[in-house]
Chains A and B, each alone.
Chain A
Amino acid sequence: MSPALDLSEITKSFPGVKALRGVSLRLDPGSIHALLGENGAGKSTLIKIITGAQSPEGGEICVSGKPVCFANPLQAIEAGIGVVHQERNLIPRFSVGENILLDRIASASLRPINYSAVHDEATHWLRLLELDIDPRRLVSELNVATAQMIEIARALSQQSRILLMDEPTASLTLSETQALFRMLRRLRDQGVAILFVSHKLEEILELCDAVTVLRDGGNACLSRPLAGMSRSDIVSLMIGRAEPIPDLGRNQRTDLPVTLSLASVATLGGHRDIDLDLRSGEIVGLYGLVGAGRSELARAIIGLDRITHGEIRIDGAPVSIGSPREALHRFGIGYVSEDRKQEGVILSHGVLANVGSTVWSRLRGWFGFLRDATVIRLVAPVLSALEVKASSLDQLVENLSGGNQQKVSLAKWLAAGTRVLIVDEPTVGIDVKTKAYFHQLLHKLAREGRAVLVISSDMPELITLSDRIAVMDHYRLVGKFENSGDYGEMSHAIMAYIHAAPPTASLKSQNSAANAAAT
């Protein structure tokens, strides 16, 4: 049997970077194949080349044994290749259903669209992914996780023989991930060839049959069976050595001074009775299911949403924070947004212009004079520590790999050196090695006397990082406790708090049930 997809010696370079230096890969029908590598290793570039979004400079692509050369994405779709790209590619003002069947609309021209048929069919694909969304809703109203699921539904709707998925689970929670995996296994059993990219190694070990690892644009291993490989085997293939396992000490002291405290805060967004203390020197983890209101709380703190009741205190004194500008420059509070493309980075600007944006007004001299060198002196150590892989400081952020974009969005807040740092889903799309460094970095910041609030849907991460954990559900804090660091114990405790809260929306309780089942 010939492989569904056979790549040999693919090369591709961009100005200043050689992204792929001869990569090969063999994808068999009826298997789920993992494609791994550090941030910037070339995974997404490879996928873009296979799907005709970019053209290779050298090498050969064979589909079912026949060499092909796609000039544009349409040809790839027609050749039976479906794809979920790393970045969201939805049309915000279109309905969910239309987005799912967009390629169908792309190939039609003048015959009017039958929207009820479109929405009916879209419902079918949404059901398969166990999603209960009205296909008539506009995509612009959806949250990140749901938008990601919509793209997956789009790829499924093409019913392709080859399915490429670039970090499809990056912003999904456990229940959605499980639904996706059930679907993928079913497809595999029907003979579909699936290429799966993720930085969550547990998922890889659970789902995949074979693995190809890229390192610096080359093959570190080529289509090897996954059976018998361990987590550390994979990691050492990715980074070329064994992974250092961070051992982060936990803070159990309660006599630290309180930096930021919320006293029975209510917001226009719907939060009620939020009491939370952030002490200087500790990391507090905030967990909740999607839509629990964690990001909204962070936004209210930095002045993007109105506080309707209660007060925010800094060092014990009540304050009113009117804007992120005040939050940063007057009160020293930083917020790393979860939505890196819209809010985290400026895609069309260079790395330096992004990382410097939080410190310009601090570094400026007379008449606002500011030299690049001044900024570089401050930000270069941060960029080095996070290993931002860019060809130069002027490289546009939109040309960075997804993980490196995330690093830039973190780096600018690390450079800002605020007293309070709120990080929202900080490690989405970041590779295992950098994630470990980042965790160390956060710890170091805390030990230096900063207060850190980590919002994350990644429970292992939260349990690794936090000194204390707070659980939020339906815009209320339902529990606060010390973190023992024991995953099993803590995850049970967290889920117990979430279940104790009175359910109001059916979708959300469904989610929690699925989550509980998963853990």
Chain B
Amino acid sequence: MLEGLPPAQGSDATETQYENAGRLGGKLGRFLLSSEFGLLLLVVLAFAGFWLSTRGFSSPFNQFGLSRSAAVNILISLSMMSVIVSGGLDLSIGAIGVCASILAGWLMEACRWPAPASVAVGLALGGLLGFANGQIIVRTGMHSFVVTLATMSVFFGGMIILTTAKPFDSLPDDFSLPAQQHLFGAVSPLLVYSVLIACMMAYLYRLTAIGRDMLAVGANARAALLSGISASRAVTLCHAMAGILAAVAGVMLSMRNGAAIPSMAGNLGQDWLLPAFLGPVLGGASLSGGRVSVLGAVLGAVLISVINNGLLLLHVGAFWLQFFLGMLLLGAVMIDKARMRVFASGDRR
């Protein structure tokens, strides 16, 4: 439509120039500076460190356990991340995850439904609860903190009323099978599922219109609205997605435990909160919204799992372990900061 316009003189800013500039220029340099690369480095460092310094870290048994807890951690991180995108947060993901897996457990145990159908309904419930969060936030204009704080109680409390806090523990064998299988002797299939889901999310944010809408709304809701993007739809979808991902994490945990248990994420599901935030934040997500990294969140979650596992194996004084956990985390982020400084100064020359 703009052909025929006199091209701006003195500027040959053509299509190809913008294309090349955007795609290739300094791509490697930018990756070296990114928090994803830093995390990758840290994960490798931690992995190598524990591999060499502890007995048992390298054993297939331990690697299997590690991959299984990393799988759940990754999903919890991704769940929170999908709300952080929109500039909000969701305190109720733990409650949603528990509710979803309890529903699936009930369907399998009390209604004798086959496992896949029950899981599907459980995930649908997760999506629905997340959707409800999103709708309340969008329609009332309240901050997601307050809304999800309240719905955390409502969801969890509702589940407690309906189940009187009883677990569903005679689930069919084929349900918990994925948590028991070993790939290559040392990897849980759950990790593969988590990575697949992460890939789908990366696809969403990079290669779909709705993913871009979510990012735009998170970064600046007013600007997005004025560009013809429906902010309320994007926010609702973010929350619904968080609900589904939390449900997947919940179902995975109950596969691992062989039972759907109200307490598996702590009281009100609050045990999930800190790991949920830590993954994305380490991965470079901005808590004010609009900037996330799927790879970063995955690596962040993996780093936490590795550090946790390694420290348990290191035999550091029982009660002091948390102290070392904190120190290691501090050390990790400091190292990362130093790396940025080194690469940044190298970049400037």
Contacts and interface: CB of A to CB of B under 8 A. Distances in A.
Given A353-B215, A391-B21, A441 B220 contact: no
A369 B348 CA distance: 37
Interface string B1-29: 11111111111011100110110011000
Contacts of A327: 228
Contacts of A391: 21, 25
B120 interface: no
Contacts of B225: 323-325
Interface stretch (B64-72, B75-83, B202-210, B266-274): B202-210
Interface residues of A, number: 65
B219 to A, nearest CB: 5
A444 interface: yes
- Chain A interface, >50% SS class: helix
B290 A370 contact: no
Nearest to B213: A360
B228 A361 contact: yes
Contacts of B182: none
A348 B219 contact: yes
A360 B234 CA distance: 14
A430 B17 CA distance: 23
B208 A384 contact: no
B291 interface: yes
B227 A324 contact: yes
Contacts of B6: 440
Contact of A343 (B26, B226, B286): B226
A393 B223 contact: no
Contacts of A364: 208-209
A385 B7 contact: yes
Given A348-B219, A384-B11, A448-B1, A393 B210 contact: no
A337 interface: yes
A37 interface: no
Nearest to A357: B227
B228 A376 contact: no
Nearest to B224: A357
A384 B7 contact: yes
Contacts of B4: 444
A444 B5 contact: yes
Given A346-B223, A349-B219, A325 B229 contact: yes
Interface string A347-359: 1110011001110
Contact of A392 (B11, B22, B228): B22
Given A347-B220, A360-B209, A387 B3 contact: no
A381 B2 contact: yes
A381 B227 contact: no
B1 A346 contact: no
A506 B225 CA distance: 35
A323 B222 CA distance: 12
Contacts of B15: 376-377, 380-381, 384
A337 B227 CA distance: 10
A440 B25 contact: no
A383 B2 CA distance: 11
A154 interface: no
B290 A324 contact: no
A368 interface: yes
A356 B25 CA distance: 21
Contacts of B220: 342-343, 345-348
7 tightest A-B CB contacts, nearest first: A393-B22, A328-B228, A364-B209, A380-B15, A368-B208, A392-B21, A357-B227
Given A348-B220, A392-B21, 17 more contacts: A16-B26, A239-B10, A240-B10, A324-B225, A325-B229, A328-B227, A342-B223, A345-B220, A360-B212, A368-B208, A369-B208, A376-B18, A380-B15, A380-B19, A391-B25, A394-B22, A444-B5
27 contacts: A16-B25, A239-B10, A241-B9, A302-B226, A325-B230, A343-B222, A343-B223, A344-B226, A346-B220, A348-B219, A356-B212, A360-B209, A364-B208, A364-B209, A369-B208, A370-B209, A370-B212, A376-B22, A377-B15, A381-B3, A384-B8, A387-B8, A390-B21, A394-B22, A416-B228, A444-B5, A448-B1
Interface of A: 13, 15-16, 239-241, 244, 302, 323-325, 327-329, 335, 337, 342-349, 352-353, 356-358, 360-361, 363-364, 367-373, 376-377, 380-388, 390-394, 412, 414, 416-417, 437, 440-441, 444, 448
Interface of B: 1-11, 13-15, 18-19, 21-22, 25-26, 207-213, 215-216, 219-220, 222-230, 286, 290-291, 347-348
